[in-house]
Amino acid sequence: MKKILNEPANVVGDALRGMALAHPDLVRVRTDPALIVRADAPVRDTVAVISGGGSGHEPLHGGFVGPGMLSAAVPGPVFTSPTPDAVQAAISQAEGGAGTLLVVKNYTGDVLNFETAAELASAEGTEVRTVVVQDDVAVRDSTHTAGRRGVGGTVLLEKIVGAAAQQGTDLDGCHRLAERVSERVRSMGMALTAPTVPHVGEPSFTLDEDEMEIGIGIHGEPGRERVPLDNADGIVRRLLDPVLEDLPFTEGDEVLLLTNSMGGTPLMELYLAHGVAERLLAERGIRVQRRLVGPYTTSLEMQGLSMTLLKLDAELTELWDSPVHTPALHW
Amino acid sequence: MPCTTQDVIAALCAGAKTITEHRDELVRLDRSIGDADHGENMDRGFRAVVAQLDSAPPETPAAALKLVGTTLISSVGGASGPLYGTAFLRAASALGETAELDGSVLVGALQAGMEGVEARGKAVTGDKTMIDALSPAVEAAKASAESGAGAATVLAAAADAAHTGAETTESLVARKGRASYLGERSAGHVDPGARSTALLLAAFAEAGEAGGAAGAAR
């Protein structure tokens, strides 16, 4: 393993201290328990939108804390969900009297810990709602698994719901909106290499030079199949086809397309893939109205990418375009 | 040979030691079919448990198990924090005010712990989870207690069954947890949660036997 590290066990806390120094105007950071809150939190009479999960997916979620997006983020250890008391601490720091919406990616650990935190916060008188993001179409037979994973679509949901909260939408409204975004977003990812978890020291799996994994998640777990490496056209088609079929997206639909790096893929390859995706969507008569290209939901240094499509309407487009000011997303 | 609060604390410390010793093995198992964090998380949790037991020694078996449950929930994270935490909390509730555990009390605690895991994780036998170790352990403990065995013997029976149960997860296709996303590819690896359950019960049983031998010598 070659990584820029001091003590592997302290990687999250050390990174958080650096993040606080890098963005003092936007976020406040605590390390025990680990959490990141808006510098101006709590924002009175505004719904607190809080997310979190294992670390290793940066900039998700800490990079999206700030005006117009998340009120707080709760990072667990690498690939491990945070504990309920950490989530509860974030709620008490960010809660501005209008209730809290928890954005949870569908993984057993995240769901269990956030569920417990919601119970604890409710018992203390805070109104808490939860939306579980489950956009990954790579997961088949969801009745025989823990259900579809939450992946790249989480970023789009956090941006849109964060904008609504910033505009003063109440907890019911934010929750309904979150459910609506969740129903309209789908993703699929692939990997060329595996990531190395710092406390493990070796890659989570191995791939030969001429192989790739299709249908990966964001925790270094292998995907749904291992196939021969294809060119960019072939790779993007393999990701888009199941996404398009699933919702389904059809001719005339207006969409937001997120072309997301898993952490180790350079922008050049990402832009190349994005170009392919826009061409394939245009061939199907699907209109890309908004786009986002870059590393947003990553899996440490994994090489690979994911494609996310969100079906837009006027309201979602307006909320997407609203100002946002966070370490990783701003306009 | 009944089992006192001191015996329970000794067993918990033995459990923590075995988790530390098997940290890398659990990481390796989880790396094959999950996200490689189980050994690290359990080690962090049980180190916190030992620190808590040292700083505020509990006065009843139930208090000891409750302390383990709350410490695991607030230090482990992932799925195993809430699942193991719930197991220990439910087992603590089942013990009530009991000062000394006999075979049948122990069965009640094991059963309550397993039901807690089932309720939280919504897994059943055959899903390739810790239930595949816990469920045969409870059955074996019941049979042992019904034949009149004491706490140490009941625990030994549970540990043996949990070990076998964990081994059987190797051929199973996961239907819960992170490994479920691999489908057929999850077969061929022992489930890390079932393995850690079997390791803990084995350590508890070994401590129970040591306690029993010491008691007999007294």
Nearest-neighbour CA in chain A from B182: distance (Å): 6
> What stretches of A114-253 adopt beta strand conformation (E)?
128-133, 185-191, 211-214, 225-228
Q: Alpha-carbon distance B169 to B128, whole Å?
A: 5
Report, as an integer, the average pLDDT of B90-95: 96
- Contact between B128 and B186 under an 8 Å Cβ cutoff? The reply is yes
pTM, entire model: 0.93
> What stretches of chain B adopt beta strand conformation (E)?
none
pLDDT band at residue B209 using 50, 70 and 90 as cut-offs: confident
Task: Check residue A69 and give its pLDDT.
Answer: 98
Report, as an integer, the average pLDDT of B20-30: 96
For the stretch B142-184, pLDDT in tens is 999 999 999 999 999 999 999 999 999 999 999 988 888 888 8
Question: Residue B52 phi/psi, 5° resolution?
Answer: -65, -45
Reading the block at residue B70, the tokens are: 């709350």
Residues 6+ apart with CB under 8 A from B170: B187, B188, B189, B190
Residue whose C-alpha is closest to residue A156's, from A118, A137, A189, A183 = A183
| Dihedral, B201, B207, B210, B216 alpha carbons, nearest 10 | -90
- Contact between B48 and B88 under an 8 Å Cβ cutoff? The reply is no
Residue whose C-alpha is closest to residue B32's, from B203, B195, B197, B200 = B195
Chain A residues interacting with chain B (CB cutoff of 8 angstroms): 54, 76-85, 107-109, 112-113, 116, 138-141, 144-146, 149, 197, 199-200, 202, 204-205, 217, 219-222, 224
* Percentage above 90 pLDDT, chain B: 84
- Chain A touched by B143 (CB under 8 Å): no
CB contact under 8 A, A108 and B183: no
Tokens 């270094």 sit on residue: A220
Among B73, B175, B177, select the one facing A83 at the smallest CB separation. Answer: B73
- Contact between B19 and B72 under an 8 Å Cβ cutoff? The reply is no
For the stretch B96-109, pLDDT in tens is 999 999 999 999 99
Task: Check residue B218 and give its pLDDT.
Answer: 45
Helix, strand, coil percentages for chain B (3-state, nearest 5): 75, 0, 20
**B40: three-class secondary structure by DSSP:** helix
Nearest-neighbour CA in chain B from A210: distance (Å): 20
- Contact between A312 and A290 under an 8 Å Cβ cutoff? The reply is yes
pLDDT tens digit at each of 331 positions of chain A: 899 999 998 999 999 999 999 999 999 999 999 999 999 999 999 999 999 999 999 999 999 999 999 999 999 999 999 999 999 999 999 999 999 999 999 999 999 999 999 989 999 999 999 999 999 999 876 667 788 999 999 999 999 999 999 999 999 999 999 999 999 999 999 999 999 999 899 998 889 999 999 999 998 877 778 999 999 999 999 999 999 999 999 999 999 999 999 999 999 999 999 999 999 999 999 999 999 999 999 999 999 999 999 999 999 999 999 999 999 999 9
Q: Alpha-carbon distance A5 to A99, whole Å?
A: 38
CB contact under 8 A, B181 and A77: no
Burial class (CB in 10 A: 0-12, 13-18, 19+), A221: buried
Report, as an integer, the average pLDDT of B91-120: 95
Q: Alpha-carbon distance A110 to A223, whole Å?
A: 20
Catalytic residues of A: 57, 219
Among A116, A140, A219, select the one facing B35 at the smallest CB separation. Answer: A219
Q: How many CA atoms lie within 13 A of A166 on its CB side?
A: 22
Q: Alpha-carbon distance A304 to A292, whole Å?
A: 16
For the stretch A90-146, pLDDT in tens is 999 999 999 999 999 999 999 999 999 998 999 999 999 999 999 999 987 666 778
Report, as an integer, the average pLDDT of B185-212: 92
Residue whose C-alpha is closest to residue A152's, from A242, A224, A218 = A218
- Chain A touched by B83 (CB under 8 Å): yes
**A77: three-class secondary structure by DSSP:** strand
**B17: three-class secondary structure by DSSP:** helix
The DSSP output letter for A63 is G
Question: Which residues on neighbouring strands pair with residue A203, listed in sequence order?
Answer: A196
Angle at A150 between CA B123 and CA B85, to 5 degrees: 40
In chain A, which residue's Cα lies nearest the Cα of B122? A146
Q: Alpha-carbon distance B124 to B131, whole Å?
A: 7
